[in-house]
Structure 1
């Protein structure tokens, strides 16, 4: 008779074989009790049930299936205005009059001239085939701080923001009925220094002078010594007349329309923005993955992390966690929506990669900075992990049993 302590209890066995089995059990139980098969995160079922979880309901998190219509709405909301559309190409300096510019204004009348130049040294003569016309050059006109100039018999007219031809037509219109067949010539003889400011992640912050050549955005960046960071991670921000717009530098280089002419008092700010998303769960690599400022799609993001792990991943349990813009969501019948302090809505996009159509949607769905891509384990993955652990422990113990049996 032998006594064996099994799982904290004393048991009496007879025979050597029973005793050997008792010893094997006493070795196996503690080893298995220390084994865990924890997953890298919640299962697909846990995420799908999250809508009814009290903490999620209070946070007002939305779980949305990623379909073609959802992807189109998100893509439409993320397609911001370009420099060419939002700011326009602009005109070279001198084409439009600015405050502080000095103008030369000459007015001509057909005889009999009565309004301008009837006497005085300012009068000049011009001979045509049938008559003599008299013209008068007015004293230099400086555009005042309100953007206006004053012309005798015409009054105050708007000059800033107008071309010389537009000012000529305005003066002629106002002189009609006062002067006989008036003709007007407006010339810019001196303009104040006009500059654009180039700051940010460039090799030299500069005050860039603008001329009638019509300097463009990339010209100014070149004069500042170029950008310090890689082009693919650089964003250009242009501030003009209180309006602020941003675009990836790579897009400006690829699309000549976005290389707009700079205007007086423009502020060009170069920003280094290393965008990234985080991949977790049953992906080929769990990591923070950088991407270019021009952006990548969901399909590209999956490719950059090595796709899904065949032996673990649940192809119907792929999720994208994001703080989404209100404009990207169809919440017309959702009632009051609680948002983050910056106006974002917490959203979990549910992605079914078992559906072939989803791969076409993934080719256009944009990944945004700060997104989290999570792939849950397949339902049987944890069971398989447990079986593998048991097998790795049982086979050595069976070898011990065989050895004891042979003794």
Structure 2
């Protein structure tokens, strides 16, 4: 209907212009919003971006591994090989072997008439009884030389390094046959310089423990240092034996008697205060750094400690564990020609599909490691829901402004 005056015509023109402007703004907003859904606020990369393993900020290869029962079993086997019992094993007691620098005491007994060493011993003879009683002579203590030898009167030079005191005593007796009358020899290690272990780190008092034929074990050495100063659940023990370095939580040693191994000469035991933790990010109920005990924590337990997944945002197919993995742990899963980090690690992302009921059993068998990052991506429709919410609010605002203008 045509307008009848200037005011009504002007009002109708303004209404048409506003409606046209609203339609134009809505169309532009919808187009821009649909094109920029991926730029909406998010707590991390999408599930598809993580699964691709592509990154512009990491120069090494990122390996994405589907977390299945087979993979979980492979990791368990690899972890077992890094225990003290498996990596170092049991050794004979170190105190039974003579080393370079050790100080030895030789006691030589002769049946009467004891002439050879009786004269040498003089008043120093150990026997003060009748003349016909066997006499024992203690020679001056002998230090094993750098080439592993000692020299005795009438017995000459003997190679003793690496042998037991009993073996050395039998050789001395054999060399004295025909020189001394029915000689019998006892050899003792009075100063076991080489048969020692060192205990350092977060202990009450760093110490060096001499090893004996008893066969001192790991916890014996720890007790000799006065024990640890921090809570047991946050302590890690590291044993350095030659080129081998193996670490294990103290809790594991206390709970598994096999890990309380017999020590070897030269072992270095370091007690480290090392609280374990993992970081939870993404669509979970609680984004935080979560501490856990040295005895270990499964992925299922870790998800439970952060309150589980956020039902409103989380993708049950997008549970990821980011880890710098030891290549030896992956075994056949290790990709060929993989580029490693400078410290010899491989960035690995383990993906768990929790839409499969069996994944909960896999999560119970997959152990989290210190400094792991557990990330849960948003569900694919989450960004669309965010955009619809923004669009709805914007549309209501525009309509409200238009109503006020009219």
TM bin (shorter chain): 0.7 to 0.9
- After superposition, the Cα gap between the structure-2 partners of 1:334 and 1:271, relative to the gap in structure 1 and judged at 3 Å, is closer
Task: State the alpha-carbon separation in 2 of the partners of residues 243 and 182 from structure 1.
Answer: 48
**RMSD of aligned residue pairs (Cα, Å):** 4.6
Bigger share in helix? 2
Per-residue deviation, residues 355-390 of structure 1 (Å, max 9, x unmatched): 222222221222222322221111111112222333
Unpaired segments ≥5 residues, structure 2: 4-9, 126-131
1:105/1:140 contact within 8 Å kept: no
Q: How do 1:131-146 and structure 2 match up within 5 A?
A: 137=137, 139-140=139-140, 142-146=142-146
What secondary structure, in the 3-state scheme, does the structure 1 residue paired with 2:365 have? Answer: coil
Q: How do 1:45-194 and structure 2 match up within 5 A?
A: 45-50=48-53, 55=56, 59-84=60-85, 86=88, 88=90, 91=93, 95-98=96-99, 99-106=101-108, 121=119, 137=137, 139-140=139-140, 142-146=142-146, 147-151=148-152, 155-171=156-172, 184-188=184-188, 190-191=190-191
Worse-superposed segment, 287-296 or 218-227 = 218-227
Task: State the alpha-carbon separation in 1 of the partners of residues 143 and 157 from structure 2.
Answer: 11
Give 1:118 deviation, angstroms.
6.8
2:104/2:144 contact within 8 Å kept: no
Task: State the alpha-carbon separation in 2 of the partners of residues 333 and 119 from structure 1.
Answer: 69
Task: State the alpha-carbon separation in 1 of the partners of residues 59 and 384 from structure 2.
Answer: 33
Task: State the alpha-carbon separation in 2 of the partners of residues 120 and 20 from structure 1.
Answer: 127
The TM-score, its normalising length taken from structure 2, stands at: 0.73
1:143/1:160 contact within 8 Å kept: no
Give 1:307 deviation, angstroms.
1.8
Per-residue deviation, residues 69-112 of structure 1 (Å, max 9, x unmatched): 2222222223344445516476485x544533222243669x9x
1:141/1:149 contact within 8 Å kept: no
- After superposition, the Cα gap between the structure-2 partners of 1:271 and 1:183, relative to the gap in structure 1 and judged at 3 Å, is same
Give 1:260 deviation, angstroms.
4.7
Bigger share in strand? 1
Task: State the alpha-carbon separation in 1 of the partners of residues 256 and 331 from structure 2.
Answer: 32
Worse-superposed segment, 327-336 or 247-256 = 327-336
Task: State the alpha-carbon separation in 2 of the partners of residues 211 and 325 from structure 1.
Answer: 34
What secondary structure, in the 3-state scheme, does the structure 2 residue paired with 1:59 have? Answer: coil
Which residue in 2 is equivalent to 1:323?
Answer: 324
Which residue in 2 is equivalent to 1:228?
Answer: 229
Give 1:241 deviation, angstroms.
5.4
Give 1:61 deviation, angstroms.
2.2
Worse-superposed segment, 14-23 or 155-164 = 14-23
Which residue in 2 is equivalent to 1:39?
Answer: 42
Q: How do 1:3-402 and structure 2 match up within 5 A?
A: 14=12, 37-50=40-53, 55=56, 59-84=60-85, 86=88, 88=90, 91=93, 95-98=96-99, 99-106=101-108, 121=119, 137=137, 139-140=139-140, 142-146=142-146, 147-151=148-152, 155-171=156-172, 184-188=184-188, 190-191=190-191, 196-203=197-204, 205-208=205-208, 210=210, 217-222=218-223, 224-240=225-241, 243-260=244-261, 266-330=267-331, 334-394=335-395
The TM-score, its normalising length taken from structure 1, stands at: 0.72
2:150/2:158 contact within 8 Å kept: yes
Task: State the alpha-carbon separation in 2 of the partners of residues 360 and 312 from structure 1.
Answer: 23
